[in-house]
Amino acid sequence: MNINIFLTFVITLLLVIFFMFKPMDVKMHHFTDVPLFELSDFTMYELDTHGLTTILLGSTGTRYAQRYEIKDMDYTDNSKKYIANMVSDLGVYKNEIVKLSGHVVYVREDGLTFKSQEALYNKKTADVVSDTKYTAYLNDNVVIGDYIKYNNITKKIYSKNVIATYQLKEEK
């Protein structure tokens, strides 16, 4: 084989590769929300100078830089006058705000209970808000509505589209 034919073949091959093939477009992925750790049978206690203020339980808990995500969340707030307990399928705890979703049940120690699909609890203001349909119970009284805002300190309830069954007490 002649050296000129070989060099011509190599140069032609290199030119074809140079003009026909395009470089790969490699995209860089920036992961900003990476879990720091994940625990099964998650339990978290918050303490202050007055004692135990919060108990947070779940079947699985994932800690991110700014929040906790808990499956099968059971959250108890003992920081106010009345103890409030919330249970849901999934919960996100961030900056003293708890976002609950999926079969939410809110129970307060004086007997008030409401059930909904979503709720938002602000620990600082003791407000629990649900923008979805709910059913609330207190003794024999039942309230059904489309929106509820309840304050654990003032014991005031705001609601929309209410249907209530209320048992009046007779004075003796």
List the one residue out of 81, 54, 155, 73 whose CA is nearest residue 118: 73
3-state secondary structure string across 56-122: EEEEEEEECCCCEEEEEEEEEECCCCCCEEEEEEEEEEECCEEEEEEEEEEEECCCCEEEEEEEEEE
pLDDT of the residue at 1 = 60
* Rounded CA separation 73/48 (Å): 22
Q: What is the largest CA-CA distance in the chain?
A: 122
* Rounded CA separation 70/49 (Å): 26
38 CB-contact burial (10 Å; exposed 0-12 / middle 13-18 / buried 19+): exposed
Percent of the chain at pLDDT > 90 equals: 31
Q: Are the beta carbons of 85 and 76 closer than 8 angstroms?
A: yes
Tell me which of 116 and 21 has the higher pLDDT. Answer: 116
* Rounded CA separation 34/82 (Å): 36
pLDDT of the residue at 138 = 82
Give the SS3 label for residue 159. Answer: strand
Q: Are the beta carbons of 74 and 88 closer than 8 angstroms?
A: no
pLDDT in tens, 48-86: 887 888 898 999 999 988 899 999 999 998 877 778 899
CB atoms inside a 10 Å sphere around CB 51: 8
Give the SS3 label for residue 55. Answer: strand
Domains of the chain: 37-165 (2.60.450.10)
pLDDT in tens, 136-151: 888 888 889 999 998 8
